[in-house]
Structure 1
């Protein structure tokens, strides 16, 4: 009976391999592309500059900066700001910013970021602009949106998207998960009285989903988010999940139809081998190709957080895949 059973198992394995969107498929995650130079980074946001080359900003320092000419070799380039704006100290004693997001519109670069106290939702998102996007050229414009301990959301991890002629910012961490507000495109700040839309959460406390990033592909908006625990080195369990919606404000669901407000989300990338706790993601375009930027904790280097870059492709059914 062993041969028939082995043949049956082989046929089943082949069949399941042909069903990449089912919960039964076991993906083989790709390693990040090789990078050299200054690899240490956390919560990266990357953009190709109009002047040529690339800049990456991240958590650490006064928004740490990295520059690259070829997307492979990265150099430490100091910080976005020479010193923290004074209002940051309302949210922590060190003026420490987190999880920036860089974009380009209306002839200038926009840098959004969060300031907060660890473990609380006494938090705020701020914005700065620059004509070049380079470190040392940013002018801060203060608060965009904030949260307090009485709120059920946490104003950190901002990410912008334009949709149907309007400007939106997704954000959030724990405190019931991912939210979204509309921004005034002229000021870059929250529209007065804006609705706080709810995009994703988990059924049980502590609702460990954060770091949203939304992109448009075809007729869908895709919400990428980081799930589980970051910031614990080799003990981190961060992973990236994704859902989609025909409306930027949701509802978002995974490929099985499970709403992201009920814990749904297709697993896009998780730790494998030395690459532990993949998350803190963002998406950028380079010559028409989508790229996923994220950090991982290097199990072969004492859990040091490093830059992960992978091509982001799209299957015929519209769902993203990491290459």
Structure 2
């Protein structure tokens, strides 16, 4: 009797699980791999997604994908046929355009990107603009705007992984950073989307102190404003190791755009703390390098993770965000 009841309960539980609607991540289809360090924006009815690309990759430099429904994705080509000459000269040996971020202001799409060599902070962030993302428009043309910010080997930061923010007062900022002393933020000239001339202001937002002066594993900042708070999402630990990647995403918040940022427990992000948003699963390892898509009242976390069932390929992931009563993000 007990065995029969146990079997019935198991069948019932499976049936209930089968009735649950598939998550957005479960339904993603099309050209969703390889995708590393995604950023996203919507123009009209089309979502546009850009990501890291290497010169030797079949998908090229700053690969470009589109979707009409956030589910089915199609590769549309690339932004660059070659790394801009100024970036090649600024960072000898660079082979890719990394970690893009896209924003729309002043009637143009502003696409930020990074050039570096792995493990070095001799890096630059560049900017390319376009009036439209519609390839059929006569206004479609990418315009390289050159250098935005650079870091040298003697600097305490790394000029990659940029994110553009317009704060509640209309001021423009560029948040960036990978390892070294952590996440920094610079004020931007809203007329150009670049640093102000002769303005050396630099704000420290988050760090991960490490023993023996080793660089702390924190990078990939992304910021949003919501209900009187600024939220700073970052990626902790290590990417780029396939299924062995240990990346995960944390968040903190502040009433002031320049900080201090704290996790849900009130501990400072400058001291290496933060509230975990997502960690790896058995199949999808090392989730990180996140962006936020804001559409009406719904926010989505857009990120990559390494698919352990497909040789650790970096794969696009998208999850709706639900906000708790006390204002913290939870993934659906």
TM-score, structure 1 normalization: 0.88
C-alpha change, 1:31 and 1:55, in structure 2 (3 Å) is closer
Residue-by-residue CA offset, 1:122-162 (whole Å, 9 max, x unaligned): 00111111111357732110000110001000000000111
Query: Is the contact made by 1:33 and 1:308 (CA closer than 8 Å) also made in structure 2?
Result: no
1:209 to 218, 231, 236: 218
Distance in 1 (CA, whole Å) between partners of 2:84 and 2:48 is 22
Q: Distance in 1 between matches of 2:297 and 2:46?
A: 15
Matching of residues 220-299 of structure 1 within 5 Å: 220-299=229-308
Select 2:157's aligned residue among 141, 153, 171.
153
State the partner residue of 2:126: 126
3-state SS of paired residue (1:273): coil
2:95/2:117 contact within 8 Å kept: no
**SS of residue paired to 1:300:** helix
> Partners of 1:238 and 1:297 in 2: how far apart?
10
Kindly provide the CA deviation profile for residues 217-276 of structure 1, in whole angstroms up to 9, marking residues without a partner as x: 101000000000000000000000000000111110011111000011000001012010
May I ask how many residue pairs the two structures share in their alignment? 293
1:47 offset after TM fit, Å? 0.9
**Deviation at residue 78 of structure 1 after TM alignment:** 1.1
Separation (CA, whole Å) in 2 of partners of 1:101 and 1:202: 23
Distance 1:92 1:63, change over 3 A: farther
Flag structure 2 segments of 5+ consecutive residues without an equivalent.
Answer: 1-22, 54-59
Could you tell me how far apart the structure 2 residues matched to 1:79 and 1:119 are? Answer: 25
Contact 2:36–2:316 at 8 Å: present in 1 too? yes
**In structure 2, what is the equivalent of residue 199 of structure 1?**
205
Q: Report how far residue 293 of structure 1 moved.
A: 0.4
Alignment of 1:183 with 2:188, yes or no, is: yes
Other structure's SS at 2:86 match: helix
Summarize the Cα distance change of 1:233–1:31 in structure 2 as closer, same or farther, 3 Å threshold.
Answer: farther
Residues 297, 306 of structure 1: 8 Å contact kept = yes
Aligned position for 1:138: 142
Sort the Cα spacing of 1:261 and 1:134 in 2 relative to 1 into closer, same or farther, 3 A. Answer: farther
Instruction: State the 1:95 CA deviation.
Output: 4.3
Determine if the alignment matches structure 1 residue 53 to structure 2 residue 46.
yes
**Distance in 2 of aligned mates of 1:202 and 1:292:** 23
Q: Which residue of 1 aligns with 2:72?
A: 73
CA displacement at 1:300 relative to structure 2: 0.5
The equivalent residue for 2:16 is none
Q: CA deviation at 1:287?
A: 3.5
CA distance in 1 between partners of 2:306 and 2:51 (Å): 15
Contact 1:92 1:115 in 2 (8 A): no
